[in-house]
Amino acid sequence: MGLLDALFGKKKLKSASLDRLFALPTARVTLEVECGLVPAGAAAVVFKPMSTSEFARAESETEQLLDAAAAESGSKLERRTDGYGYVWVIVHDPDFEDLVTSTHVVSSELQAHGFGEQLLAAAFRFDRDERPVYLIYGYKRAAFWPFVPTGEGQERDNALELRVKGELDGVLPMEQDLSRWLALFDAPF
Amino acid sequence: MKRKAYGRSAGLSARMALTMFLLGLLYVVFFIVLVQLFNLGLGAVIVLMAALLGLQLFFSDRLALAAARAKIVERDEAPELHDMVERLSAMADLPKPRVAVIDSDVPNAFATGRSQKRAVVAVTRGLWQRLERREVEGVLAHELAHISNRDVVTMTIASFFSMVAAMLIRFSLYSSMFSGGNRDQNQLPVWAIMFIVSIVTYVLSYILIMAISRYREYAADRGAALITGQPENLMSALQKISSDMVRIPQKDLRQVAPMNAMFIVPTSWKASFGQLFATHPPLEKRIARLQEIALEMGRPVP
């Protein structure tokens, strides 16, 4: 199937897989005790909007539903478009489990409307000695990886990233292929 | 054959098609000489051809980068470009390819590499400067779609089969002429017949490979539309690139000429050699297909 699709150039985009997002709350203790990562109460779903009216409708429906859900659970929502045209739905919630649930709702709503392919990643912010450390979930990879910007230009703290990965192996589904560790230097939260 | 408003550099286009054609012809002549001089069997020749093409494939990234004088750039040299490539490859579920920049004012881009892990995406300085960010993104997505479709491997294998076919026809002719024994004085000399047959099969297979190449371009355009979700960006990029191509002096164009098959838009459009010999489909056909895809994408989900 995949080979034939590639041969005839009919390859489709891989769709998102969301289930493993829910593994994150179970890793919270490891994150805090072994890695020193304290949840910062913020996360974001990053997706690439499509230029079709159907997508715009799905997006606005998702937004309404989210606002209703957020009002109920007490999380705050923010929406931004970055310099590359990707949309960031940023969730603020002091409760870590609610935070994960809210990001799951955002992505599953988009997927329910048939736009799961457009999901790029979810990013969860943690703090470590006053510095941001992100745990990124790749929807197409169904795996997590750490992202630690040093704050100097586009540099990442690879040593810390690899240590975090080492601690989380076996606790969370971690991305083993380092060439897939997408960076999000312009994370607006 | 239709004349296009943008197909003004007819002489250049003909020169380039001729170059590519002669390059392939050199391969065929090389093997004919090998066979005649060393009396190699068909099997040995095919193995040798496979080995040569294998080498060409294995070094495709280095060869292409050197030929286009492209330089690999690290993240700190081109952070925005790296960001775009990285995100698009995540959307396409590809490992991040290496990124290279060509010091040329002609807006263009290409992808190469024997595998998805060894892939390189190269863009010219002109592409980055003359196009808007969202258009550059469309072009990058087109190149990533080439990587995703494994087009370097596909095209190498396609040319291998066409060469084997040419060899087989030549050999079968050769053996039938010597086993048939029914020769009279009026016939053309054996070498002349073989020469003509070789050329004809070569021309046919060349046309076929160009057709495959054009088909892969449509497929990559489609892939780009899916990866970005915005086919109109690639449309406007293609329009901008091809109109810029005509305005730029030919001196610049000639420098990038041998790389044509891999570029997003050939450095000039087919003219005197006709559509059969073009590596890329004409602009208006690509735009029309992208419009169809845009319609398709806008349809309600079943």
Please indicate whether, in this complex, the C-beta atoms of B229 and A179 are within 8 angstroms of each other.
Answer: no
- Tokens representing residue B236 in the block: 């406007």
Of residues A183, A156, A135, the one with CA closest to residue A38:
A135
pLDDT on residue B223: 92
pLDDT in the model for residue B105: 83
Cβ-based contacts of B137 with chain A (< 8 Å)? 84-85
Residue from the list B148, B228, B297 with its beta carbon closest to the beta carbon of A11: B148
Average the pLDDT over B98-115 and give the result. 89
A105 close to A139: Cβ distance less than 8 angstroms: no
Identity of the residue numbered B11: G
Note the pLDDT tens digit of each residue in B261-271.
Answer: 556 666 544 44
Per-residue pLDDT tens over the stretch A62-117:
888 888 877 777 788 889 999 999 999 999 999 999 899 888 988 888 888 878 88
From the CA of B189, how many Å to the nearest CA of chain A? 43
Is B153 part of the contact surface with chain A (CB cutoff 8 Å)?
A: no
Chain A contacts in chain B segment 161-180 (CB below 8 A): none
**Contact present, B147 and B264 (Cβ < 8 Å):** no
Instruction: Compute φ and ψ for B125, nearest 5 degrees.
Output: -60, -35
Strand, coil or helix: A40:
strand
Whether B230 sits inside 8 A of A50 (CB atoms) is yes
Residue of A11, A52, A154 with shortest CB distance to B149:
A11
pLDDT digits (tens, 9 = 90+) for A102-137: 889 888 888 888 788 899 999 999 999 889 999 999
* Tokens matching residue A23: 């593994």
The mean pLDDT value of chain B amounts to 76
Residue where the block lists tokens 């010091």: B103
Per-residue pLDDT at B283: 86
Q: What is the pTM of this model?
A: 0.82
Interface contact B229-A49, CB threshold 8 A: yes
Banded model confidence at residue B253, pLDDT cuts 50, 70, 90: very low
CA distance B116 to B36: 40
Decide if A48 and B300 are in contact by the 8 Å CB cutoff. Answer: no
Report the pLDDT averaged over residues B249-254.
45
Q: What stretches of chain B show up as alpha helix (H) in DSSP?
A: 10-38, 42-58, 60-67, 79-91, 125-130, 133-148, 151-180, 190-228, 231-247, 250-256, 283-298
Task: Report d(CA B253, CA B249) in Å as an integer.
Answer: 7
pLDDT of residue B301: 44
pLDDT at residue B285 tops 80? yes
Banded model confidence at residue B8, pLDDT cuts 50, 70, 90 = very low
Q: In this complex, do B148 and A6 lie within 8 Å of one another by their Cβ atoms?
A: yes
Look at residue B15 and tell me whether its pLDDT is greater than 60: no
CA A125 to chain centre: 10
| Residues in chain B closer than 8 A to A117 (CB atoms) | 91, 226
How much is the pLDDT for B264? 67
CB atoms within 10 A of CB B290: 22
CA distance linking residue A50 with residue B216, whole number of Å: 24
Cα–Cα distance measured from residue B57 to residue B50, given in angstroms and rounded to the nearest whole number: 10
Alpha-carbon gap, residue B7 to B17, rounded angstroms: 14
Q: pLDDT at residue A55 above 80?
A: yes
What is the per-residue pLDDT for B279? 75
Res B290 pLDDT > 60 = yes
- On chain A, the residues whose CB falls within 8 A of the CB of B218 are 9
Residues of B assigned a catalytic role = 143
Distance from CA of A152 to the nearest CA of B (A): 10
Tell me what ipTM this predicted complex has: 0.88
Q: Which residues in chain B have their CB less than 8 angstroms from residue A13's CB? A: 91-93, 226-227
Q: Do A179 and B134 touch (CB under 8 A)?
A: no
Q: Tens digits of per-residue pLDDT, A131-157?
A: 999 999 999 999 999 999 998 888 999
CB nearest A48 (choices: B79, B96, B229): B229
Reported confidence tier of residue A182, pLDDT bands at 50, 70, 90: very high
Q: Which residues touch B152 (CB under 8 Å, ≥6 apart)? A: B57, B60, B111, B112, B113, B114, B146
Closest CA to B144 of B102, B107, B95, B100: B95
Highest mean pLDDT among A90-94, A107-111, B47-51, B102-106: A90-94
Least confident of B71-75, B220-224, B297-301: B297-301
A chain contacts of residue B286, beta-carbon cutoff 8 Å:
none
- Contact call for A85 and B137, based on CB within 8 A: yes
